[in-house]
Amino acid sequence: MSESKLYVNLILEMIGKIEESVQGISKKEFMEDETIQDATLMRLQVIGENIKNMPLEIKKQHEEIKWKKFEKLRNVISHKYASVNYNLIWDFIENNLEELKSGVINIK
């Protein structure tokens, strides 16, 4: 299996785990549950790391995916963990995760 397939599979696995962990919960519940917050951040970090390592040629072939947005999120989570805004994380999940999932499925 090529490295890019491993990246794609890990991204999809992490998206699935995020979807599963936030399924059926409200933003309020998310904001009150540190375990779900921590798990979500870790999974977003893994997604960003795999996107960062994805070959540039694949990113160029799929410019409809906002690669940089996920890389930047990964950097915030990794380097400014104490200042993460969980309202923004929730909004990010609601507004960007499905788009990434669709794009990565197309690559697969």
**Dist CA 81 CA 11 (whole Å):** 21
Helices (H), the chain: 3-22, 27-32, 34-53, 56-61, 67-79, 86-107
State yes or no: is 79 an active-site residue: yes
Considering 28, 60, 63, 79, which one is annotated as catalytic?
A: 79
Q: How far is CA 21 from the centre of its chain?
A: 13
Considering 49, 74, 76, 90, which one is annotated as catalytic?
A: 74
State yes or no: is 62 an active-site residue: no
Q: Could you list the active site residues? A: 74, 79
